[in-house]
Structure 1
Amino acid sequence: MPMPAPDFSWHFTPGNVFEEESGSTGTMSVVRGGELWLHTGRVIACDPFVSLGAGEAEPFTARVAPGRYPVEAAVATLVRPGEPEVDGPHLRVAAARLVIKDVPAVSWELALQPGQDLAELDDEEFFGYGVDAGTGCFYDAGSDGSFPDCEGDEGPLWDAFDTVPPLPGPHTVTDPASGHNLIAFTSGWGDGAYPTWIGRDEAGEVTCFVTDFFVVPAEALVS
């Protein structure tokens, strides 16, 4: 079977604490970003530094009603006993959530792109997007091509993360001409491949899209 979804309500409950094998502890908080304008209702999740303008990122097959929806990050503050904070707290984005309906999800499914088939996955496998610049984002498929200033080695996307102390996001970048925007955040421990999950309510309607960055150990999610 494909990888099962974790209990994302745990990630987004402030004050929850997990412990790593190294002895470090992580305390969860929720950082709210701006609202994402889904003017077509087709959601893309990707590494913006890699995929913007490359024509590689495809929207998920699940569509939602056009509108403006909040994005928030579940952020872990990591502390190793006996080690002082040198440059401020050690923050890692454990998961990022695009909230479509502010109600609990009762079921979860992998967000799929066209042509992806769950039957192709072996045990514990998943479909996800690749990260090569330590960053993920959400944006509307109709906004593709709206951020040419973000496609090089400088520009507003770089500026959003160039803060002191460094802040993991969510950061909103908006095209002033069209109003199209994207909301970006750091990707857990950095580069890799990460799945996005779709939550649904009892009526089967989409409640959220959540990208998991594998920061919270599975053991912490077992009650």
Structure 2
Amino acid sequence: MEATKEWLEKWEKVKNKLQPNSNLLDYFTLKEIAGKEIDVMDIGPCSIPTGEFLVADPLVYLVSKYEKEYFQKIPTGEFRTEVCVVKATDGDCDRYAAVRLKFNDNEVSYFEEAMKGTEDLENINEGDFFGFNVDAGLACICDKKLHELYCEFDKKWCDENPDGNTYDDYFADLFKKSYEDNPKYQRDGGDWINWTIPGTDYHLPMFQSGFGDGAYPVYLAYDKDGNVCQLIVELIDIELAYSDIDDEEEE
């Protein structure tokens, strides 16, 4: 997506306010944050053939061919999909706090929020974010090429199954199989799949979105030379979410 010159000029002035509130690198290096034990799991490759990408709810928003990519680009290739998991405690299930694609081992110098180039940049405050919307409890990182193929798959499937439901009648069995094959950090209905788009070799992982429906920010990490090092989807601000819970329990 091409952002206009006017929009880019506004963005340059406010982008430093659109920073993650937490050190997201800690999510993939520490064993505990805010008193919660965390772990990192690999859910397989994510295919990025063009470097143009979006992050979206695969059941609600990704199925629209009009859903646009971010204006920033990322490296092309196949990258491990790493998930930071807040381990289950106190009757709660395992929660996915962040998902990362790591493109290289360069030292991270700064972050930018992934943007589409159409956001309203007036009245931006420190710690604000735009994010992507989730309405079906799932998210995925998707290359432009895979987005096109996914929309074609969805249209074909719906045409062939006019009374069907894509999740109930197609994806649900795949999520259940994922749990059976990899039960660690999943509920019995399944919390992630590494889906290969039928008729292709492209991998499109789908994963639970933290606490469920809502809006979630996506950040790109850059090195000192302006090269993209990592893409991180923040699903839970661990410090904020669990410190509040602990404070309430102490009162």
The superposition leaves residues 129-162 of structure 1 with CA deviations (integer Å, 9 ceiling, x where unpaired) of: 0001111111111112423258723455333332
Residue 136 of structure 2 is aligned to residue 133 of structure 1: yes
Of the three residues 199, 205, 210, the one matched with 1:183 is: 205
* Corresponding residue of 1:202: 224
Q: 2:18 touches 2:112 (CA, 8 Å); kept in 1?
A: no
In the alignment, the residues of structure 2 paired with residue 113 and residue 197 of structure 1 have an alpha-carbon distance, to the nearest angstrom, of 12
TM-score when normalising by structure 2: 0.73
Q: Does the alignment pair 1:74 with 2:80?
A: no
* Match among 53, 63, 83 for residue 73 of structure 2: 63
Residues 1-223 of structure 1: matches in 2 within 5 Å? 2-5=17-20, 6-19=22-35, 26-80=36-90, 90-116=93-119, 118-119=121-122, 121-147=124-150, 148=153, 152-154=166-168, 157-162=171-176, 163=179, 166=187, 167-169=190-192, 171-218=193-240
CA contact (8 A) 1:92 1:215 kept: no
CA contact (8 A) 2:75 2:228 kept: no
- 1:174 deviates by 0.8
Q: Distance in 1 between matches of 2:66 and 2:79?
A: 24
Listed as ranges, the gaps of 5+ residues in structure 2 are 1-13, 159-165, 244-251
**Higher strand proportion, which one?**
1
Structure-2 separation of matches of 1:191 and 1:201: 32
Q: d(CA) in 2 for partners of 1:219 and 1:92?
A: 12
1:104/1:65 Cα in 2 relative to 1: closer, same or farther (>3 Å)? same
For structure 1, which runs of at least 5 residues remain unmatched after alignment?
20-25, 84-88
Distance in 2 separating the partners of 1:122 and 1:142: 34
Q: One-letter code of the match for 1:58? A: K
Structure 1 residue 176, shift from structure 2 partner: 3.3
In the alignment, the residues of structure 1 paired with residue 120 and residue 75 of structure 2 have an alpha-carbon distance, to the nearest angstrom, of: 24
Over the residues paired in the alignment, what is the CA RMSD in angstroms?
Answer: 2.6
Amino acid at match of 1:100: F
Paired amino acid for 2:125: D
Deviations 1:179-213 (A, max 9, x none): 22311111111000000001011211001111111
Instruction: Work out the number of aligned pairs and report it.
Output: 207
Alignment check: 8 A CA contact 2:33 2:238 kept? no
Deviations 1:41-61 (A, max 9, x none): 111101111123212432111
How far 1:118 sits from its partner (Å)?
4.4
Distance 1:219 1:90, change over 3 A: closer
In our comparison, the structure showing a higher alpha carbon Rg is 2
